Amino acid sequence: MKTTVLLSHARHPVSDRPQLSRLEAQAIALAAEVDEAPSGLHAGRNETGVVAALGHGLTALDRLDLADTTDPLSALAAFLTRQRFDLILAGRRGEGGHETGLLPYRLAAILGLPILADAVAITPGAAVETLVVDQAMAKGARRRVTIRLPAIVTVHPLAPPPRPFAYGPMRRGTIRRHPVDGSANAADLDTAEERPHRLRPKLMRQSAGQAAGANLYVDPTPEEAARLILAYLEANGIRRYGPLNDR
């Protein structure tokens, strides 16, 4: 299964050095489970961050020679149409740019491929040209979808952790540099003003204060206590336990 992982130009939040995004490193670990020689694809001039992907399990890296300020969509679409990958993996939102998370969906629309989000595990399907994708859902649920290849899949942070970094494979890995011809169009959303980021506090995850200390029961019989607890759980919609005896 010919697989590629889309790599963005992530930067470290504190030092601002180029680095490999963690989610994309997790995507590499997923790719290595269905393809013994997965490759990566990066559009941009700076290689220092993304070469680490070779040390995390990629065997080759394709780099499109494109200025960082241009919209990589058309160049990526043209490259992917030429290469005909079976599976294209990506993070939820590319890092370092506008981070809208729309790029995989735009690619899917241009290439006419199906797209699935939030994968935590992928395995080859029973039939040829199929893939079984486990999608992460709320409360630990999973949705197992069998999809026909080729397809685009984005990866969820609950996917297995990245493979450990190894220096040798990074040195041995091949980097293929591809020049991009034609006019590159400007990035979207440039009408809005851009300014330094201001940290804003999140809402406190505090429980509603009125609940505390409302019901206090001193020395009820154990049976009474058990009934109180189950009634509380059901009344607040935590769990339903079906009809309970002697109630």
Partner 1 sequence: MSRPRRDPRAERQSHDVGATGSRPRYDRSQPLPGRAGVPPIVAPARSGMTTQPQPAKPELRIVDEPAFLVFAVVEAPGGRLSRFDRQVLGAARLLADAGDGGAGVVAIASHSVEGLGEAGADRVLLFTAEAMPGTVAKALRQTVDALSPRHVLFAETGDSADLARRLAIALDEPLLANVEHLTSRQAVRAIRNGRAEIAATPPRLISLGEDRIKPYEAAPCEARALALDTAPHNDDPAILSVEFIPGDPASLALSETDFVVSAGNGVSDFAAFRDLATHLRATPGASRVVCDAGLMPRAAQVGASGTVLSADCYFALGISGAPQHLQGIAGCEHVIAVNTDLHAAMIERAGLAIVQDAQLVMPALLQLLRGGER
Residue list 208-227, contact with partner 1 (CB under 8 A): 208, 210-220, 222-223, 225-227
Q: Considering the complex, what minimum distance in angstroms separates the CB of residue 20 from partner 1?
A: 13
Give the binding range for partner 1 (CB under 8 A) out of 35-43, 81-89, 168-176, 230-238: 230-238
- The answer to the question of residue 10 lying near partner 1 (CB under 8 A) is yes
Asked, as a colleague might, if the bond just before 201 is cis with ω within 30 of 0, I would say: no
3-state secondary structure 12-47: CCCCCCECCCHHHHHHHHHHHHHCCCCEEEEECCCC
Q: Considering the complex, what minimum distance in angstroms separates the CB of residue 60 from partner 1?
A: 26
What is the longest distance spanned by two Cα atoms in the chain?
81
Q: Considering the complex, what minimum distance in angstroms separates the CB of residue 37 from partner 1?
A: 25
Q: Considering the complex, what minimum distance in angstroms separates the CB of residue 126 from partner 1?
A: 10
- Look up residue 59 and give its two tokens: 């065997």
At 131, is the secondary structure helix, strand, or coil? strand
**Nearer Cβ to partner 1 (164/243):** 243
**Nearer Cβ to partner 1 (2/106):** 106
Q: Considering the complex, what minimum distance in angstroms separates the CB of residue 49 from partner 1?
A: 11
Q: How far apart are alpha carbons 235 and 243 in whole angstroms?
A: 14
Q: Which of 60, 117, 175, 184 binds partner 1 (CB under 8 A)?
A: 117
Q: Which of 33, 78, 125, 184 binds partner 1 (CB under 8 A)?
A: 125
Q: CB of 41 within 8 A of CB of 171?
A: no
- The answer to the question of residue 67 lying near partner 1 (CB under 8 A) is no
Q: CB of 65 within 8 A of CB of 179?
A: yes
At 73, is the secondary structure helix, strand, or coil? helix
Residues 6+ apart with CB under 8 A from 57: 28, 29, 31, 32, 38, 163, 169
**Nearer Cβ to partner 1 (164/222):** 222
Q: Which helix (H) or strand (E) holds 90?
A: strand 87-90
Residues 162-191 contacting partner 1, CB under 8 A: 188-189, 191
Each residue 70-109 as x (binds partner 1 by CB under 8 A) or -, in order, gives ----------------------xx-xxxxxxxx--xx-xx
- The answer to the question of residue 157 lying near partner 1 (CB under 8 A) is no
Q: Which of 45, 143, 171, 177 binds partner 1 (CB under 8 A)?
A: 143
Q: How many CA atoms lie within 13 A of 166 on its CB side?
A: 10
**Nearer Cβ to partner 1 (167/211):** 211
